[in-house]
Structure 1
Amino acid sequence: MDTDRLKEEKERQISIELALRHYMKMKNCKFQSLTYQAMSALSGK
């Protein structure tokens, strides 16, 4: 088992969850559209 890689993956998952939680709190349309564009770019869509 590659524990370092597992740890990195878990930390990445946590940061994504935090980002999503923060995103859900922000109801500002401009912020949402910018975040959506960033998320889309990151996911390669």
Structure 2
Amino acid sequence: MDSCGLGGEIPSLVANLRNVHTMWASDSPFTGTIPDFIGNWPKLTSF
């Protein structure tokens, strides 16, 4: 999601990404809090 042009709150659609190891979201104007579902990604090692 790095420099993807999305903004606002992180969309709930990304909750379905179960094989994410690293999530980069820099240079994207996201707002709000980090959603709880991101803590449920079993393979996430870096955010």
Q: TM-score, normalised by structure 1?
A: 0.25
Higher relative helix content: 1
Structure with higher RCO (Cα < 8 A, 6+ apart): 2
The structure number with the bigger radius of gyration is 1
Q: TM-score, normalised by structure 2?
A: 0.25
